[in-house]
Structure 1
Protein backbone atom coordinates (compact mmCIF):
# COMPACT_ATOMS: atom_id res chain seq x y z
CA UNK A 1 0.00 0.00 0.00
CA UNK A 2 1.20 3.47 -0.84
CA UNK A 3 0.07 6.38 1.29
CA UNK A 4 1.51 9.75 0.40
CA UNK A 5 1.12 12.36 3.13
CA UNK A 6 1.96 16.01 2.64
CA UNK A 7 1.85 18.38 5.61
CA UNK A 8 1.59 21.73 3.79
CA UNK A 9 1.35 23.62 7.05
CA UNK A 10 4.38 21.98 8.65
CA UNK A 11 2.28 21.63 11.78
CA UNK A 12 3.31 19.40 14.63
CA UNK A 13 0.91 17.00 16.27
CA UNK A 14 0.87 15.32 19.68
CA UNK A 15 0.47 11.96 17.90
CA UNK A 16 2.06 10.26 14.92
CA UNK A 17 -0.29 11.60 12.24
CA UNK A 18 1.29 9.47 9.50
CA UNK A 19 0.83 6.24 11.49
CA UNK A 20 -2.77 7.16 12.36
CA UNK A 21 -3.55 7.87 8.70
CA UNK A 22 -2.09 4.51 7.68
CA UNK A 23 -4.02 2.64 10.41
CA UNK A 24 -7.35 4.23 9.51
CA UNK A 25 -6.89 3.78 5.76
CA UNK A 26 -5.93 0.11 6.21
CA UNK A 27 -8.84 -0.47 8.61
CA UNK A 28 -11.40 0.98 6.20
CA UNK A 29 -9.97 -0.99 3.28
CA UNK A 30 -10.06 -4.19 5.35
CA UNK A 31 -13.63 -3.53 6.51
CA UNK A 32 -14.70 -2.84 2.95
CA UNK A 33 -12.89 -5.97 1.75
CA UNK A 34 -10.79 -4.22 -0.85
CA UNK A 35 -9.13 -7.02 -2.84
CA UNK A 36 -6.29 -4.80 -4.11
CA UNK A 37 -3.26 -3.02 -2.80
CA UNK A 38 -4.19 0.65 -2.88
CA UNK A 39 -2.69 4.11 -3.24
CA UNK A 40 -4.08 7.11 -1.35
CA UNK A 41 -2.82 10.68 -1.06
CA UNK A 42 -3.44 12.73 2.09
CA UNK A 43 -2.77 16.48 2.17
CA UNK A 44 -2.91 18.45 5.40
CA UNK A 45 -3.65 22.09 4.72
CA UNK A 46 -5.16 25.23 6.19
CA UNK A 47 -8.45 27.07 6.04
CA UNK A 48 -7.66 29.32 3.10
CA UNK A 49 -6.41 26.52 0.86
CA UNK A 50 -9.31 24.18 1.58
CA UNK A 51 -11.73 27.04 0.97
CA UNK A 52 -10.05 27.70 -2.39
CA UNK A 53 -10.31 24.00 -3.32
CA UNK A 54 -13.94 23.83 -2.19
CA UNK A 55 -14.73 26.88 -4.33
CA UNK A 56 -12.82 25.56 -7.34
CA UNK A 57 -14.06 21.97 -7.34
CA UNK A 58 -17.46 22.16 -5.66
CA UNK A 59 -18.45 25.78 -6.33
CA UNK A 60 -18.98 26.27 -2.58
CA UNK A 61 -17.18 29.36 -1.32
CA UNK A 62 -16.57 28.40 2.29
CA UNK A 63 -14.16 26.49 4.44
CA UNK A 64 -14.79 22.81 5.05
CA UNK A 65 -13.09 20.14 7.13
CA UNK A 66 -12.25 17.54 4.48
CA UNK A 67 -12.48 17.09 0.74
CA UNK A 68 -12.36 13.78 -1.11
CA UNK A 69 -11.24 13.42 -4.71
CA UNK A 70 -11.99 9.86 -5.85
CA UNK A 71 -10.11 8.41 -8.82
CA UNK A 72 -12.62 5.61 -9.46
CA UNK A 73 -16.35 6.10 -10.04
CA UNK A 74 -17.81 3.16 -8.12
CA UNK A 75 -21.26 2.23 -9.47
CA UNK A 76 -22.15 1.06 -5.95
CA UNK A 77 -20.19 1.57 -2.71
CA UNK A 78 -17.17 -0.73 -2.41
CA UNK A 79 -18.31 -2.77 -5.44
CA UNK A 80 -14.94 -3.63 -6.95
CA UNK A 81 -16.24 -5.77 -9.83
CA UNK A 82 -16.24 -2.90 -12.32
CA UNK A 83 -12.52 -2.29 -11.82
CA UNK A 84 -11.52 -5.29 -13.91
CA UNK A 85 -13.05 -3.59 -16.94
CA UNK A 86 -11.29 -0.25 -16.30
CA UNK A 87 -7.82 -1.39 -15.35
CA UNK A 88 -5.96 1.24 -17.38
CA UNK A 89 -7.71 4.11 -15.60
CA UNK A 90 -7.79 2.82 -12.04
CA UNK A 91 -4.46 1.07 -11.47
CA UNK A 92 -1.04 2.64 -11.21
CA UNK A 93 0.94 1.52 -14.29
CA UNK A 94 4.16 0.90 -12.33
CA UNK A 95 2.95 -0.47 -8.98
CA UNK A 96 -0.32 -2.09 -10.02
CA UNK A 97 -2.00 -0.50 -7.01
CA UNK A 98 -5.59 0.69 -7.14
CA UNK A 99 -5.44 4.49 -7.20
CA UNK A 100 -8.28 5.50 -4.90
CA UNK A 101 -7.71 9.25 -4.85
CA UNK A 102 -6.90 12.21 -2.67
CA UNK A 103 -7.94 13.33 0.80
CA UNK A 104 -7.45 16.98 1.78
CA UNK A 105 -7.89 17.90 5.46
CA UNK A 106 -8.03 21.37 6.98
CA UNK A 107 -6.02 20.94 10.16
CA UNK A 108 -7.38 24.23 11.49
CA UNK A 109 -10.96 23.05 11.01
CA UNK A 110 -10.14 19.65 12.53
CA UNK A 111 -8.76 21.39 15.64
CA UNK A 112 -11.86 23.58 15.91
CA UNK A 113 -14.17 20.58 15.58
CA UNK A 114 -12.20 18.48 18.08
CA UNK A 115 -12.56 21.27 20.62
CA UNK A 116 -16.26 21.80 19.83
CA UNK A 117 -17.02 18.06 20.13
CA UNK A 118 -14.89 17.67 23.25
CA UNK A 119 -12.50 15.05 21.96
CA UNK A 120 -8.85 14.84 20.97
CA UNK A 121 -7.48 16.08 17.66
CA UNK A 122 -6.32 12.51 16.97
CA UNK A 123 -9.94 11.32 17.07
CA UNK A 124 -11.17 14.09 14.77
CA UNK A 125 -8.29 13.53 12.34
CA UNK A 126 -8.96 9.77 12.27
CA UNK A 127 -12.67 10.40 11.77
CA UNK A 128 -12.05 12.71 8.82
CA UNK A 129 -9.79 10.14 7.17
CA UNK A 130 -12.34 7.34 7.71
CA UNK A 131 -15.10 9.57 6.34
CA UNK A 132 -13.07 10.51 3.28
CA UNK A 133 -11.96 6.93 2.63
CA UNK A 134 -15.61 5.89 2.44
CA UNK A 135 -16.16 8.62 -0.15
CA UNK A 136 -13.15 7.32 -2.13
CA UNK A 137 -14.85 3.90 -2.12
CA UNK A 138 -18.11 5.29 -3.48
CA UNK A 139 -20.13 6.00 -0.34
CA UNK A 140 -22.09 9.23 0.01
CA UNK A 141 -24.44 10.92 2.49
CA UNK A 142 -27.03 12.68 0.37
CA UNK A 143 -30.06 10.97 1.94
CA UNK A 144 -30.71 9.86 5.54
CA UNK A 145 -30.16 6.15 4.77
CA UNK A 146 -26.71 6.90 3.30
CA UNK A 147 -25.87 9.08 6.31
CA UNK A 148 -26.71 6.22 8.67
CA UNK A 149 -24.57 3.75 6.71
CA UNK A 150 -21.57 6.08 6.66
CA UNK A 151 -21.91 6.93 10.36
CA UNK A 152 -22.03 3.24 11.28
CA UNK A 153 -18.99 2.39 9.16
CA UNK A 154 -16.96 5.37 10.42
CA UNK A 155 -17.68 4.48 14.03
CA UNK A 156 -16.87 0.80 13.44
CA UNK A 157 -13.51 1.64 11.91
CA UNK A 158 -12.50 3.97 14.73
CA UNK A 159 -13.77 1.61 17.45
CA UNK A 160 -11.78 -1.27 15.94
CA UNK A 161 -8.66 0.92 16.26
CA UNK A 162 -9.51 2.02 19.81
CA UNK A 163 -9.88 5.65 18.71
CA UNK A 164 -12.97 6.75 20.61
CA UNK A 165 -14.46 9.99 21.88
Structure 2
Protein backbone atom coordinates (compact mmCIF):
# COMPACT_ATOMS: atom_id res chain seq x y z
CA UNK A 1 0.00 0.00 0.00
CA UNK A 2 1.37 3.34 -1.06
CA UNK A 3 -0.06 6.72 -0.13
CA UNK A 4 1.07 9.70 -2.16
CA UNK A 5 0.67 12.40 0.48
CA UNK A 6 0.39 16.18 0.24
CA UNK A 7 -0.36 18.62 3.05
CA UNK A 8 -1.66 21.90 1.61
CA UNK A 9 -3.09 23.38 4.80
CA UNK A 10 -1.62 25.13 7.84
CA UNK A 11 -3.10 23.21 10.81
CA UNK A 12 -0.45 21.57 13.00
CA UNK A 13 -1.32 17.90 13.54
CA UNK A 14 -0.29 15.91 16.61
CA UNK A 15 0.01 12.70 14.58
CA UNK A 16 1.51 11.58 11.29
CA UNK A 17 -1.37 11.76 8.77
CA UNK A 18 0.57 9.92 6.08
CA UNK A 19 1.30 6.96 8.37
CA UNK A 20 -2.33 7.00 9.55
CA UNK A 21 -3.55 6.94 5.93
CA UNK A 22 -1.28 4.01 5.09
CA UNK A 23 -2.48 2.09 8.15
CA UNK A 24 -6.20 2.73 7.61
CA UNK A 25 -6.12 2.19 3.84
CA UNK A 26 -4.17 -1.05 4.25
CA UNK A 27 -6.73 -2.30 6.79
CA UNK A 28 -9.69 -1.49 4.53
CA UNK A 29 -7.98 -3.20 1.58
CA UNK A 30 -7.22 -6.26 3.72
CA UNK A 31 -10.84 -6.38 4.93
CA UNK A 32 -11.97 -6.19 1.29
CA UNK A 33 -9.56 -8.99 0.28
CA UNK A 34 -7.80 -6.81 -2.26
CA UNK A 35 -5.36 -9.11 -4.08
CA UNK A 36 -3.24 -6.21 -5.39
CA UNK A 37 -0.69 -3.80 -4.08
CA UNK A 38 -2.44 -0.44 -4.41
CA UNK A 39 -1.72 3.26 -4.48
CA UNK A 40 -3.87 6.27 -3.66
CA UNK A 41 -3.26 9.94 -3.12
CA UNK A 42 -4.28 11.88 -0.03
CA UNK A 43 -4.28 15.66 0.06
CA UNK A 44 -5.06 17.66 3.19
CA UNK A 45 -6.58 21.07 2.50
CA UNK A 46 -8.52 23.86 4.23
CA UNK A 47 -12.22 24.68 3.89
CA UNK A 48 -11.64 27.24 1.16
CA UNK A 49 -9.86 24.73 -1.09
CA UNK A 50 -12.32 21.90 -0.54
CA UNK A 51 -15.18 24.31 -1.22
CA UNK A 52 -13.51 25.24 -4.52
CA UNK A 53 -13.09 21.57 -5.44
CA UNK A 54 -16.66 20.75 -4.38
CA UNK A 55 -17.96 23.60 -6.55
CA UNK A 56 -15.79 22.57 -9.48
CA UNK A 57 -16.44 18.82 -9.43
CA UNK A 58 -19.87 18.47 -7.79
CA UNK A 59 -21.45 21.86 -8.49
CA UNK A 60 -21.97 22.34 -4.73
CA UNK A 61 -20.77 25.70 -3.45
CA UNK A 62 -19.94 24.71 0.13
CA UNK A 63 -17.15 23.20 2.14
CA UNK A 64 -17.37 19.49 2.85
CA UNK A 65 -15.27 17.14 4.94
CA UNK A 66 -13.93 14.84 2.24
CA UNK A 67 -14.00 14.26 -1.50
CA UNK A 68 -13.15 10.97 -3.18
CA UNK A 69 -12.17 10.56 -6.82
CA UNK A 70 -12.10 6.85 -7.77
CA UNK A 71 -9.97 5.72 -10.70
CA UNK A 72 -11.56 2.29 -11.21
CA UNK A 73 -15.02 2.03 -12.80
CA UNK A 74 -16.32 -0.75 -10.55
CA UNK A 75 -19.22 -2.91 -11.76
CA UNK A 76 -19.88 -3.72 -8.10
CA UNK A 77 -17.94 -2.70 -4.99
CA UNK A 78 -14.62 -4.46 -4.43
CA UNK A 79 -15.24 -6.86 -7.33
CA UNK A 80 -11.58 -7.43 -8.09
CA UNK A 81 -12.45 -10.21 -10.55
CA UNK A 82 -13.54 -7.54 -13.05
CA UNK A 83 -9.92 -6.35 -13.15
CA UNK A 84 -8.76 -9.81 -14.20
CA UNK A 85 -11.37 -10.22 -16.92
CA UNK A 86 -11.26 -6.87 -18.68
CA UNK A 87 -8.96 -5.49 -21.35
CA UNK A 88 -9.60 -1.96 -20.05
CA UNK A 89 -8.33 -3.01 -16.61
CA UNK A 90 -4.73 -2.42 -17.65
CA UNK A 91 -5.52 1.31 -17.35
CA UNK A 92 -6.31 0.68 -13.67
CA UNK A 93 -2.69 -0.25 -12.91
CA UNK A 94 0.44 1.89 -12.83
CA UNK A 95 2.53 0.71 -15.79
CA UNK A 96 5.79 1.22 -13.86
CA UNK A 97 4.97 -0.18 -10.41
CA UNK A 98 2.10 -2.52 -11.30
CA UNK A 99 0.07 -1.07 -8.42
CA UNK A 100 -3.72 -0.75 -8.59
CA UNK A 101 -4.55 2.96 -9.03
CA UNK A 102 -7.37 3.54 -6.53
CA UNK A 103 -7.76 7.30 -6.90
CA UNK A 104 -7.58 10.50 -4.90
CA UNK A 105 -8.83 11.56 -1.48
CA UNK A 106 -9.03 15.21 -0.40
CA UNK A 107 -9.78 15.99 3.27
CA UNK A 108 -10.52 19.38 4.79
CA UNK A 109 -8.66 19.37 8.10
CA UNK A 110 -10.70 22.42 9.18
CA UNK A 111 -13.97 20.57 8.66
CA UNK A 112 -12.58 17.37 10.21
CA UNK A 113 -11.57 19.36 13.30
CA UNK A 114 -15.07 20.84 13.57
CA UNK A 115 -16.62 17.36 13.25
CA UNK A 116 -14.24 15.85 15.80
CA UNK A 117 -15.40 18.48 18.29
CA UNK A 118 -19.06 17.90 17.38
CA UNK A 119 -18.74 14.13 17.85
CA UNK A 120 -16.51 14.37 20.93
CA UNK A 121 -13.49 12.47 19.67
CA UNK A 122 -9.98 13.26 18.49
CA UNK A 123 -8.99 14.79 15.19
CA UNK A 124 -6.91 11.68 14.53
CA UNK A 125 -10.01 9.49 14.90
CA UNK A 126 -12.03 11.76 12.61
CA UNK A 127 -9.39 11.78 9.90
CA UNK A 128 -8.99 7.99 10.19
CA UNK A 129 -12.77 7.66 9.76
CA UNK A 130 -12.72 9.93 6.68
CA UNK A 131 -9.88 7.91 5.17
CA UNK A 132 -11.71 4.60 5.74
CA UNK A 133 -14.89 6.13 4.29
CA UNK A 134 -13.04 7.43 1.23
CA UNK A 135 -11.12 4.22 0.55
CA UNK A 136 -14.48 2.43 0.46
CA UNK A 137 -15.66 5.01 -2.11
CA UNK A 138 -12.49 4.35 -4.12
CA UNK A 139 -13.48 0.66 -4.05
CA UNK A 140 -16.92 1.42 -5.49
CA UNK A 141 -19.04 1.66 -2.35
CA UNK A 142 -21.62 4.41 -1.94
CA UNK A 143 -24.25 5.52 0.57
CA UNK A 144 -27.08 6.78 -1.59
CA UNK A 145 -29.57 4.35 -0.06
CA UNK A 146 -30.11 3.34 3.55
CA UNK A 147 -28.86 -0.18 2.79
CA UNK A 148 -25.68 1.10 1.11
CA UNK A 149 -25.05 3.50 4.00
CA UNK A 150 -25.45 0.68 6.51
CA UNK A 151 -22.93 -1.49 4.65
CA UNK A 152 -20.40 1.35 4.51
CA UNK A 153 -20.88 2.25 8.18
CA UNK A 154 -20.22 -1.32 9.27
CA UNK A 155 -17.12 -1.63 7.09
CA UNK A 156 -15.72 1.72 8.30
CA UNK A 157 -16.30 0.89 11.94
CA UNK A 158 -14.84 -2.62 11.58
CA UNK A 159 -11.62 -1.28 10.04
CA UNK A 160 -11.21 1.33 12.78
CA UNK A 161 -11.99 -1.21 15.52
CA UNK A 162 -9.38 -3.60 14.11
CA UNK A 163 -6.85 -0.77 14.34
CA UNK A 164 -8.08 0.19 17.81
CA UNK A 165 -8.94 3.68 16.58
CA UNK A 166 -12.07 4.24 18.61
CA UNK A 167 -14.04 7.21 19.88
CA UNK A 168 -12.79 6.32 23.36
CA UNK A 169 -9.10 6.20 22.41
CA UNK A 170 -8.30 9.57 23.95
Question: Do these two structures clear the TM 0.5 threshold for a shared fold by scoring above it?
Answer: yes
Q: SS state of the match for residue 105, structure 1?
A: strand
Shift of 1:10: 4.2
How many Å separate the matches in 2 of 1:10 and 1:34? 34
2:131 aligned partner: 129
**Does 14-23 or 107-116 show the bigger shift?**
14-23
Structure 1 residue matching 2:103: 3-state secondary structure: strand
Structure 2 residues not aligned, in runs of 5+: none
Match of 2:118 among 116, 119, 122: 116
In the alignment, is the contact (CA less than 8 A) between 2:2 and 2:22 conserved in 1? no
Q: Residue 37 of structure 1 aligns with which residue?
A: 37
CA displacement at 1:139 relative to structure 2: 0.2
1:1-165 alignment runs, 5 A limit: 1-84=1-84, 85=86, 86-165=88-167
Alpha-carbon displacement from aligned partner over 1:4-55 (angstroms, at most 9, x marks no partner): 1100014321112111111100000000000000010000001011011111
Displacement of 1:89 in angstroms is: 1.2
Q: CA RMSD in A?
A: 0.8
Give unpaired runs (5+ residues) of structure 1.
Answer: none
- TM-score by length of structure 2 reads 0.95
Aligned mates of 1:48, 1:16 — CA distance in 2:
23
Give the count of matched residue pairs. Answer: 165
Once residues 18 and 12 of structure 2 are traced to their aligned partners in structure 1, the CA distance between those partners, rounded to angstroms, is 11
CA–CA separation in structure 2 for the residues paired with 1:10 and 1:21: 18
